[in-house]
Structure 1
Amino acid sequence: MPPASSGAAATHAVAARTPSSPEASDTRLNPGGPGYRRMSFALFLAGVATFALLYSTQALLPLVSADFGVSASAASWTVSGATGALALCVLPLSALSERFGRRTVMTASLSVAVVVGLLVPFAPSLGVLIVLRALQGAALAGLPASAMAYLAEEVRPKALVAAIGLFVAGNSIGGMSGRVITGWVAQEWGWRAAVGTIGVIAVACAVAFRLLLPAPRHFSPGSLRPRVLARTVRGHLANPLLCRLYVIGALFMTVFGAVYTVIGYRLTAAPFSLPQGLIGSIFLVYLVGTVSSAAAGKLVARLGRRGALYLAVGTTASGLLLSLGDSIPMVLLGLVLITAGFFAGHAVASSSVSHTATHGRAQASALYQSVYYLGSSVGGTLGAVAFHSGGWAGTVTLGLVAVLGVVSVTLWGTHAARVQRQTFAAAH
Structure 2
Amino acid sequence: MVDYIQKGSARYWRGISALFLGSFVTFALLYCTQPLIPTFVEEFKLTPSYASLSISLTTGFLAVFMLIMSWFADERGRKVIMAISLLGSATLVVIQAFTDHFAVLLVLRALQGIMLAGFPAIAMAYINEEFDPAVTGLVMGIYVSGNSIGGLAGRIIVSTLTDFFSWHIALGGIGLICVLVSIWFWFSLPESQHFSPQKRLMKDMIPVLSKNLHHTSLLSLNMIGFVIMGAFVTTYNYIGYVLMASPYYLSQTVVGCIFIIYLVGTFSSTYMGRLADHMGSAKTLCLGIGIMIVGCLITLESSLYGKIIGVAILTFGFFGSHSVTSSWVGKCAVSHKAQASSLYLLFYYLGASVLGALGGKFLAWYAWNGVVFLLAPSLALALLLAVILFIKEERYKVCIGNES
TM-score norm. by structure 2 comes to 0.95
User: What is the CA distance between 1:235 and its match in structure 2?
Assistant: 1.6
Match of 1:42 in 2: 18
Match of 1:9?
none
Deviates more, 1:107-116 or 1:273-282: 107-116
Residue 31 of structure 1 and its aligned partner are, at CA, apart by 1.2
Note if contact 1:289-1:344 (Cα within 8 Å) is conserved in structure 2.
Answer: yes
Matched, 1:233 2:209: yes
- Distance in 2, Cα, partners of 1:417 & 1:299: 16
Would you say the 8 A contact 2:141–2:269 is kept in 1? yes
Q: Which amino acid aligns with 1:318?
A: V
1:254–1:402 contact (8 Å) kept in structure 2: no
SS at match of 2:381: helix
* 1:305 match: 281
Deviations 1:130-170 (A, max 9, x none): 11001001100000011011111110111111111111110
Matches of 1:187 and 1:300, distance apart in 2: 41
- CA–CA distance in structure 1, aligned partners of residues 331 and 202 of structure 2: 25
How far apart are the structure 1 equivalents of 2:133 and 2:17? 19
Give the secondary structure class of the aligned counterpart of 1:295. helix
Query: Quick one: distance in 1 between partners of 2:333 and 2:307?
Result: 39
Matched, 1:216 2:195: no
Q: Aligned AA for 1:362?
A: A
- Kindly report structure 1 stretches of 4+ aligned residues shifted beyond 3 Å: 414-422
The answer to whether the Cα contact below 8 Å between 1:148 and 1:362 also exists between their aligned partners in 2 is yes
- What letter is aligned with 1:81? L
> Which of 218, 237, 240 is residue 264 of structure 1 equivalent to?
240
Report the Cα distance in structure 2 between the residues aligned to 1:73 and 1:41, rounded to whole angstroms.
36
**Runs of 5+ consecutive residues of structure 1 not aligned to the other structure:** 1-24, 423-428
Task: Write the deviation string for residues 218-254 of structure 1: whole angstroms up to 9, x where unpaired.
Answer: 1122332123222221221121111111111111011
Does residue 146 of structure 2 align to residue 165 of structure 1?
A: no
Deviation sequence 1:252-309 (CA, Å, 0-9, x none): 0111011011011100011110000000000000000010001122221343212111
1:137 corresponds to 2:117 = no
**Conservation of the 8 A alpha-carbon contact between 2:15 and 2:189:** yes
| Equivalent position of 1:318 in the other structure | 294
Q: Is 1:69 matched with 2:27?
A: no
Secondary structure at the counterpart of residue 319 of structure 2: helix
Aligned to 2:230: 254
Whether 1:407 and 2:387 are equivalent positions in the alignment is no
Check the 8 A contact 1:165/1:347 in 2, yes or no.
yes
SS in 2 for 1:197: helix
Q: State whether structure 2 residue 394 is matched by structure 1 residue 393.
A: no
* Mapped contact 2:156–2:257 kept (Cα < 8 A): yes
**Structure 2: which 5+ residue stretches go unaligned?**
399-404
- Please report how far the alpha carbon of residue 399 of structure 1 lies from its aligned counterpart in structure 2 after TM superposition: 1.3
Q: Distance in 1 between matches of 2:190 and 2:91?
A: 24
TM-score for both structures, normalised by structure 1: 0.90
Q: Supply the distance in 2 between the matched residues of 1:295 and 1:224 (Cα, whole angstroms).
A: 38
1:360 counterpart letter in structure 2? H
Task: Say whether 1:114 aligns with 2:90.
Answer: yes
Match runs of 1:300-379 below 5 Å: 300-379=276-355
Q: What is the letter of the counterpart of residue 311 of structure 1?
A: L
**How many residues were matched structurally?**
398
Give the partner amino acid of 1:385.
K
Identity %: 37
One of 108, 112, 123 as aligned partner of 1:147: 123
RMSD of aligned alpha carbons = 1.5
Paired amino acid for 1:176: L
